[in-house]
Structure 1
Amino acid sequence: MRRSLTAAAALAFGLTLASPVQADEAPSYGAPEATEAIGLSVLGTYNTDVFDSSGAEIVAHDPRTQRLFVVNAAAAVVEVLDVSDPENPEKLFDLETAGVRAADGSVVERGGAANSVAVHGNVVAVAVEAADRTDDGWVVLFDTSGRSVNALRVGALPDMLTFTPEGRTLLVANEGEPNDEVTVDPEGSVSVIAVNRRPASLTQDDVRTADFRAWDEGRELHPDVRVYGPDLSTGEPGTPGRVARNLEPEYIVADSPHTAHVMLQEANAFGVLDLRTAEITDIVPLGVKDHMEPGNGFDASDRDGEIAIENWPVLGMYQPDGFDGYRWRGRTLLVTANEGDARDLDGYSEESRLKNLDVCEDSPRVQEFLENNDQGIESVEELTADENLGRLSVSTAEGLREDGSCYEEIHSFGGRSFSIFGDDGELLFDSGSDFERITAEAAPEFFNSNHRENNFDGRSDDKGPEPEGLVLGKVKGRTYAFIGLERVGGVMIYDVTDPRNVTFTDYVNNRDFGADPSSREAGDLGAEGLTFISGGDSPIPGVPVLAVANEVSGTTTLFRIDS
């Protein structure tokens, strides 16, 4: 481990070293060397004092008023913070959505959660789900002073929204999740709303809906797009079928005035949205990450008592949550935080520990592993022991032999990484095992810790550090990816200016592992939403700032970005 990381770790992570540790004595886990071209330092934090109840989820910034708009799902409001002095953010007021009358005559219900917020010009848009999440939700429009001006009906479970770059169109990802019993499953869709006139004058006719029904009506779906679980289609003409119900839009990036990309997390794919016609024109699978390939190792067990980043016969489904996009040599590139997500409801669950499944003894991948592994594992019985792959969370919906007798392939959730894809689905870069190697060297006593408690190895059997949020930002002409780690915490920074030469820049974790997680002293827990504030829009003129909303600690922290 390099000397500067060792010296910083005790301070940045709240650790106490019993005796001086020399860099040469510290364990090395093969982490990449940090260039430290840019770095983060804490400016200030706003604390809701709400622990583990989604007190701070998504954050948006208005440069004209120097206000942050932060979704507080616990209180079902959007909190408005004054960050003109970023070292001392102060709450001004809440945006209340309940009781607002919509353009179609409906009234926004109490009991429905605010899920996302976006700002452009003088318009603040808030996505609100219905009290019964399978019913249609709303987008509530405010001005930046906090006055509600309109509301529009959208699809079921509006989970994320964003404006196109020029602000003329608002896009809403309607996730359409089923109820817990999986007896009702609304279709997933994207609402395309023209907001290029006064928000108060918008009507329901300004809302168009992009759906996935074409793939139920004969259009061929790529076989690698995951459509699985119960089929609640009625079969009646004109109603959404299996594909339309199954696909659940999670996140949207508007690349231009004419095109957007829509992440379909559970399906491990993305859709291409034509904004002119409000139609999904393509669905592109993301493929899988082969964890037997060099550089793609991970720690698979929370029962092995050590940090063991190894190769395994596992295929990781990328399943991104947050992502962002940029242009490179005339191409649109998608930069993804590969969180992973299982369907895990009372009425249907695809999630299981591997030891509870029958793994095919003659699986070619398993046999290849048994013949070549460095761990001394010689049988499927050893492979599925708790200290190896036995406790790993895997999908029962993938890899089953055609006759249903056993699993030929093992599919896990997420990539424990970030990736860069072309808009045709070509994988251009993946960070491999970097995140686990970097966090292992930074705080080995709390490797793969959970966010609700300070533990060792607690998340290795699930999704490891669990990258969730991601945002891109330009600093002095170079493009950087800022990736939030939901579990162990902190922000990874990579220079992605050239996807052929991506470099690790730094890792900063504003968490004190020596404090009770439910106390203020614990710092930031459960990084959820990130927003990059350019130097031109910053409360510190010329100095870019990163704002991070943390779901478990209920904190919103502003970081100064310095070269």
Structure 2
Amino acid sequence: MLVRRFKKSLLVLSIAASATVAHAESFNRIASFGVIHNLPEGTEQSQETSPEIIAASEDGNTLVYSDSPFEALGFVDISDAKNPVAGGIVKLDGEPTSVAIGGKTVFTAVNTSKSYTQPSGYLMALGLQERDELVRCDLGGQPDSVAVSKDGRYVAVAIENERDEDLNDGEMPQLPAGWVTIVPVENGQLQCDKMTKVDMTGLAEIGATDPEPEFVDFNSRNEIVVTLQENNYLAIIDAASGKLVNHFSAGSVELQGIDTKKDKMLDFTDSQTRLREPDSVKWLDDNRFVIANEGDMNGGARGFTIFHKDGRMLFESGASFEHQVILAGHYPEKRSGKKGSEPEGVAIGQFDGETYIFILSERASVIGVYRDTGDAPEFVQLLPSGMAPESAVVIPQRNLLVSANEKDLIEDKGPRAHVMLYSLTDAPAAYPQIISTRTSEGTPIGWGALSGLTADPAKPGMLYAVNDSFYANQPTIFTIDANQTPAKITAATLVLRDGKTAKKLDLEGIAADGQGGFWLASEGKTSKEIPHAIHHVNSTGEIDRTIDFPKALLANEKKYGAEGITLIGDTLWIAIQRPWKDDPADQVKLLAYNLKTNSWGAVRYPLESAATGWVGLSEIVSHGDQVYIIERDNQLGESAVVKRLYSVSQDQLKPAAIGSDLPLVKKVLVHDFMPDLKSLNGYVQDKIEGFTVDAAGNGFAITDNDGVDDSSGETLFFSIGKM
């Protein structure tokens, strides 16, 4: 799909505020399929791919997705849902914008436009099994969404004729105008000569001469609902006659408790009135439909709305969906000044007699699952998705949900694009593994990019974490109660200097001092005037002591600094992530600072070799007579190899002076994190950065989600048991 990049009801309904509603059944991810595996032999793996719109065959065994960058349709065999198999591709002579399946026929709309002012495209029918072209219809404009009626008699196409966003700041109108095309189907064959063109001009108050239909969907009465996103408008069309049944504004929403500033902080105390500007739309039944309010030009209401086809608004989620995103640590702070989490896709499915609503957040990379009650939908759970879920398809007869995640970060060496599968079973929800609670005022505690972890010396299951410089204007210590599932962030303590938010910090390590305070390790970047330093804070988060790295050490600085800190007796031990100039290529320093003598020293630690990228340290924690150290490579997905926990006996920690010949310690492998990182059946996260051992001797680990920036936002938090 080409997606750019009435009056208020007196009744505003709310969704349950809890992060997860307990139910006997839950959806869990069972498989992920990287669509690069569908590239033909000989194709460079650097080829961008993007599964955008996805459809399933009637038997639920075959998936078909549109891949615009590769100008192809991709096929996936999911006969064994837990082990998807590449089914190959069908190359097209243009950019597929959408795909739908009716019976044994695949329908796809293809954009062949030469320019914004010369839009063109066609609708093609292919055999699902033979994959041969059956017929194509010239659409006369640039298509977007495609839908096939439940009885297979009609195909509807939204002819968007999208505007040039760089022309006059994207202001409308920009002709030619769009419309909706309805193509009859007889015996599985498109009847191109019987197409109906439904004029959409003159309806909306916004851009009346330039409608841009975005998404279409059929109910069982062969009525088509269509969103006009930029026009903030909705219309209902009778497919048989091609006549408008009804049309009305999508309206606006008053949002409370949102973040509206891109400022490296999470502050959910703002309010704003926004046009809905819906993208995807799906019928709930023959009278009600759901819209995802992504926004485009001047809107984006960060949630979803249920309308009756007569124009009545039946339900508005307001900021409640985004609050669920926040509680799970998936809030995309960099989008605060725009449209927040941007709900874009909607799917509807009936499972075991219950109707579920699935809301896909493009920027937060999650899927909200709701149960339709006929009134206010009941929030069920939040599912982790791949990068930027664009669409989803339900396969109720197999208890499956499938998402197409369009973002391919090949140029940034980030996650590749995936199709992900979920199953509804009796098992409890596996994700999220950690969530936050709300403040006494009801505001969700925002969190993300957790980097260091430590434990309360006296209270089993009570942990503390810090965030890194992604939230440079909000360095925070988070209190975590790991005695429940999922673990809960119950408090957030701002790190202060002279009573004000501390600046120039990149917190990567934390160690409890045993007296209610903490030692914090800040990774420096001299080029950005962030000093390499150790800070002590009291129980209120106030910095009361700072220890700068010595000049002898900084003389050999490289940009990777402190990544973990622990306290052994009177000595602080700090793990440096990667070798500096005076280190051998395969060794890195463990720094020591004696709090009584105020003297620095170090030992060297041997690193594993990296087949790709680099290997470095992420954490250090003392327990018993050992120190435990996380060693990881900087790879993710299928390239990830080294994600391990090693131990070093404390009797080896005999530091020598900085600049002298440093002793090399010996390490012992304790735990391989790769099975843990694969346990949720997504792609392997690269940054496992926090580890600690609680007062009961249990080891806990956590991943850094990079503030949901070029990341799916997933945070894995788990215990590896007794140490």
Moved runs in structure 1, 4+ residues, more than 6 A?
A: none
Instruction: Measure the CA separation in 1 of the matches of 2:150 and 2:138.
Output: 23
| Structure 1 residue 437, shift from structure 2 partner | 1.9
3-state SS of the aligned residue for 1:438? helix
Q: Which residue of 1 aligns with 2:85?
A: 90
Query: TM-score w.r.t. structure 1 length?
Result: 0.65
Q: Which residue of 2 aligns with 1:507?
A: 382
The 5 Å alignment of 1:293-308 reads 296-303=256-263, 305-308=264-267
Q: Which residue of 1 aligns with 2:28?
A: 41
Instruction: Note if 1:157 corresponds to 2:142.
Output: yes
Instruction: Note if 1:167 corresponds to 2:167.
Output: no
Deviations along 1:467-500, whole A, 9 cap, x unmatched?
11111111221111111111121110111232x2
Instruction: Measure the CA separation in 2 of the matches of 1:226 and 1:54.
Output: 37
* Paired AA for residue 61 in structure 2: Q
* Partners of 2:250 and 2:278 within 8 A in 1: no
Structure showing greater radius of gyration is 2
Instruction: Note if 1:316 corresponds to 2:313.
Output: no
| Structure 1 residue 282, shift from structure 2 partner | 3.3
* Paired AA for residue 448 in structure 1: Y
* Paired AA for residue 278 in structure 1: G
* Partners of 2:181 and 2:198 within 8 A in 1: yes
Q: Which residue of 2 aligns with 1:496?
A: 372
3-state SS of the aligned residue for 2:32? strand
Deviations along 1:396-426, whole A, 9 cap, x unmatched?
xxxxxxxxxxxxxxxxx21111111111222
Instruction: Measure the CA separation in 1 of the matches of 2:358 and 2:335.
Output: 22
Instruction: Measure the CA separation in 2 of the matches of 1:64 and 1:508.
Output: 25
Instruction: Measure the CA separation in 2 of the matches of 1:53 and 1:428.
Output: 41
* Partners of 1:129 and 1:158 within 8 A in 2: yes
Instruction: Measure the CA separation in 2 of the matches of 1:493 and 1:204.
Output: 38
440 and 204 in structure 1: CA distance in 2 versus 1, 3 angstrom threshold: closer
Which protein has greater RCO, CA pairs closer than 8 Å, 6+ apart? Answer: 1
* Paired AA for residue 294 in structure 2: E
Residue number among 32, 40, 43 corresponding to 2:18 in the alignment:
32
Deviations along 1:158-195, whole A, 9 cap, x unmatched?
10101111111111111112345479622211111111
* Partners of 2:406 and 2:418 within 8 A in 1: yes
Instruction: Note if 1:188 corresponds to 2:181.
Output: no
Instruction: Measure the CA separation in 2 of the matches of 1:35 and 1:280.
Output: 40
Instruction: Measure the CA separation in 2 of the matches of 1:430 and 1:550.
Output: 26
246 and 307 in structure 1: CA distance in 2 versus 1, 3 angstrom threshold: same
Residue number among 362, 368, 390 corresponding to 1:486 in the alignment:
362
528 and 119 in structure 1: CA distance in 2 versus 1, 3 angstrom threshold: same
Query: What is the number of equivalent residue pairs in this alignment?
Result: 386
Name structure 1 gaps, 5 residues minimum.
1-29, 99-111, 216-220, 229-242, 343-394, 396-412, 450-456, 511-523, 539-543
Instruction: Measure the CA separation in 2 of the matches of 1:192 and 1:439.
Output: 37
The 5 Å alignment of 1:407-446 reads 413-443=299-329
| Structure 1 residue 51, shift from structure 2 partner | 8.2
119 and 36 in structure 1: CA distance in 2 versus 1, 3 angstrom threshold: farther
272 and 203 in structure 1: CA distance in 2 versus 1, 3 angstrom threshold: closer
Q: Which residue of 2 aligns with 1:271?
A: 235
* Paired AA for residue 274 in structure 2: G
94 and 31 in structure 1: CA distance in 2 versus 1, 3 angstrom threshold: same
| Structure 1 residue 33, shift from structure 2 partner | 4.4
| Structure 1 residue 503, shift from structure 2 partner | 1.2
64 and 477 in structure 1: CA distance in 2 versus 1, 3 angstrom threshold: closer
* Partners of 2:183 and 2:191 within 8 A in 1: no
* Partners of 1:51 and 1:554 within 8 A in 2: no
167 and 116 in structure 1: CA distance in 2 versus 1, 3 angstrom threshold: same
| Structure 1 residue 53, shift from structure 2 partner | 4.7
* Partners of 1:469 and 1:527 within 8 A in 2: yes
* Partners of 1:340 and 1:414 within 8 A in 2: yes
84 and 272 in structure 1: CA distance in 2 versus 1, 3 angstrom threshold: same
| Structure 1 residue 93, shift from structure 2 partner | 2.1
Instruction: Measure the CA separation in 2 of the matches of 1:425 and 1:558.
Output: 35
43 and 272 in structure 1: CA distance in 2 versus 1, 3 angstrom threshold: same
The 5 Å alignment of 1:54-65 reads 55-64=50-59
Deviations along 1:381-409, whole A, 9 cap, x unmatched?
xxxxxxxxxxxxxx4xxxxxxxxxxxxxx
* Partners of 2:226 and 2:281 within 8 A in 1: no
Instruction: Note if 1:548 corresponds to 2:403.
Output: yes
Deviations along 1:242-288, whole A, 9 cap, x unmatched?
x3x41111111111344111111111111111212112343211211
* Paired AA for residue 107 in structure 2: A
Instruction: Measure the CA separation in 2 of the matches of 1:160 and 1:432.
Output: 26
* Partners of 1:482 and 1:494 within 8 A in 2: yes
3-state SS of the aligned residue for 2:338? coil
The 5 Å alignment of 1:96-107 reads 96-98=91-93
Q: Which residue of 2 aligns with 1:338?
A: 293
Instruction: Measure the CA separation in 2 of the matches of 1:470 and 1:65.
Output: 19
Q: Which residue of 2 aligns with 1:135?
A: 119
Instruction: Measure the CA separation in 1 of the matches of 2:281 and 2:240.
Output: 23
The 5 Å alignment of 1:363-442 reads 395=298, 413-442=299-328
* Partners of 1:324 and 1:471 within 8 A in 2: yes
| Structure 1 residue 31, shift from structure 2 partner | 4.2
Residue number among 386, 389, 396 corresponding to 1:534 in the alignment:
396
289 and 83 in structure 1: CA distance in 2 versus 1, 3 angstrom threshold: same
* Partners of 1:336 and 1:418 within 8 A in 2: yes
* Paired AA for residue 227 in structure 1: I
Instruction: Note if 1:325 corresponds to 2:283.
Output: yes
